[in-house]
Amino acid sequence: MQINWSPTEGQLDLETIAVGSRKALPGGHYRRPRLMSIVGREAAVKLLVVPSMTSQALGSMVMRAAAGLPPRIDATNNRIYETACLVVGLARTESVNWSESVTS
């Protein structure tokens, strides 16, 4: 099992990660979605970790976005769904970048 973050990074929620993805941290680093890679004998999987500080509304919308489902019809959910789609896109990009850094 591998993770793409350090325990010293502290707790974040997905909205902070999504907003922080646009702002560079000291050293040119960016907030990134937390991924976990698990490799077994017959299969391997990468999971997006939804931090416990993430709101229930955003967490459920991330699940909908990852599954390719549309948002529920509600004006407040639209903004949350847009954030969820951003998180899923960031996670996919991070997954590719992380794979390349692990194999090289």
Q: Which of 66, 95, 91, 92 has the alpha carbon at shortest distance from 2?
A: 95
Q: 80: closest CA among 64, 103, 98?
A: 64
Q: How far is CA 9 from the centre of its chain?
A: 15
Q: Pick from 70, 62, 64: which is nearest to 91 by CA?
A: 62
DSSP state of 1: -
Condensed to tens digits (0 to 9), the pLDDT of residues 14-60 reads 888 787 655 555 555 567 889 999 999 999 999 999 989 999 999 99
Distance CA 84, CA 23 (A): 18
Share above pLDDT 70 across residues of the chain, in percent, rounded to a whole number: 84
